[in-house]
Chains A and B, each alone.
Chain A
């Protein structure tokens, strides 16, 4: 049976790895090559690496660094940041990246997703949607401009449109939960579980392994990604790279299995 995917998300900023809180306060965590090597040794399911400056600075992805990181990955790698053209996606796949993620560029120009899918195949196209629960309300909306501005579009409806355009995976990145370690946005996840016909991954909020379990209970074998959970330890947020062991992941797989739709 398909297992749930548990992945670290690493953020690149000025060539180093950082962690953020609600998309602010970037804090240096370590050297990316070293971190990737450690996660490889821990046999993580897959890895997401996002360059948080590339799009804002309107520069190309750091292809040399990405190629080095990809060569260290014995697991699939999804890269995002600065991608706005299908030829960039093609180049990244050629460097050893399995999935290429786009966010603001796809929202600005949705046809990009179809162009990428035509170039590298739907399975390698990932759309990242930054989301938040609308303050004081039950519904959710998209967040634009690096999580600073709400836009009145339902994230799941948006995801369905992108899936139709050729996205093979959607990542819902909860800005309001980023770094807070209070659990995933389970309402959003439950909505996506009901309506989305492509794989999706939740990111933002995971503070304990129990949070992963909660998510899989609701959604079955989807992706659960986390930054803080695998990179910080304790209230003082000391830097320590960890990852659930195989026994824990087998337990999570059983939980997801009981919710699986296939």
Chain B
């Protein structure tokens, strides 16, 4: 059962609607007990890094999620701020991240190139390897809504890139833990494809 972590931050309902349309069983989980039977986890996130981390820490689920993800190694997908939470830290805030994928989160650009922030709208996804999460994306694109990006410590963890200001990692992954900077739940057929791909991942 795909469980969407409902810790008060993020678009849980949109994921449930999309999985329902895809005929993939999914539920929201707001407590540690509700995580029973989870085969896949989605960590959504919108808003500010510190607030998201604080809410997740206060949710009572973090310990159980760590057992599942770091112990049993079930697949987990971090979305938008949820992907940024996988980092060691973010320059947007002062709290520590989960540190599950090596890297830090930085502001995209520095304003000198005249770029508009936040990065808002549809942009192209360019896979860099053959990761299962990025399979089947014809003219891959998705909706982005963010100002910060994940700077990977290990390039091998990069699954796909997007160009805004410069190339940045829009999809990342390390073993069973993956992340997408964009909103797959709001990216029509391409987001649906990525979520279908995620549902096919196995513990590793």
A residues neighboring B (CB under 8 Å): 1-5, 40, 43, 45-46, 67, 70-77, 93-96, 98-99, 118-124, 168-169, 196-199, 221, 223, 261-262
Instruction: Give the number of chain B interface residues (Cβ < 8 Å).
Output: 41
Having A3-B121, A43-B189, A262-B115, one finds 20 other A-B pairs with CB under 8 Å, namely: A1-B164, A2-B144, A3-B141, A4-B121, A46-B121, A46-B143, A74-B186, A76-B145, A96-B11, A121-B48, A122-B147, A123-B145, A168-B118, A168-B120, A197-B111, A199-B116, A199-B118, A261-B114, A262-B113, A262-B114
B165 at the interface (CB under 8 A from A): yes
The answer to whether A76 and B186 touch across the interface, beta carbons within 8 angstroms, is yes
**Cα distance A5–B143 in the bound complex, in angstroms:** 10
**Cα distance A261–B117 in the bound complex, in angstroms:** 12
**Cα distance A98–B165 in the bound complex, in angstroms:** 23
A126 to chain B, nearest CB (A): 10
Residues on the B chain within 8 Å of A198, using CB: 116-118
B141 (CB) vs chain A CBs: closest residue: A3
A3-B188 contact, Cβ under 8 Å, with A121-B47, A199-B116: no
**Cα distance A43–B186 in the bound complex, in angstroms:** 10
B123 (CB) vs chain A CBs: closest residue: A2
Our pick among B13, B47, B117 for the contact of A96 (Cβ within 8 Å) is: B13
**Cα distance A121–B111 in the bound complex, in angstroms:** 19
Our pick among B47, B113, B141, B189 for the contact of A124 (Cβ within 8 Å) is: B47
The answer to whether B17 and A72 touch across the interface, beta carbons within 8 angstroms, is yes
Residues on the B chain within 8 Å of A261, using CB: 113-115
The answer to whether A93 and B186 touch across the interface, beta carbons within 8 angstroms, is no
Per-residue A-contact encoding for B106-146, CB less than 8 Å = 1, 0 else? 00000101111111111110000000000000000101111
List 5 contacting pairs A-B, 8 Å CB cutoff, sorted by A: A3-B121, A73-B14, A123-B146, A198-B117, A199-B120
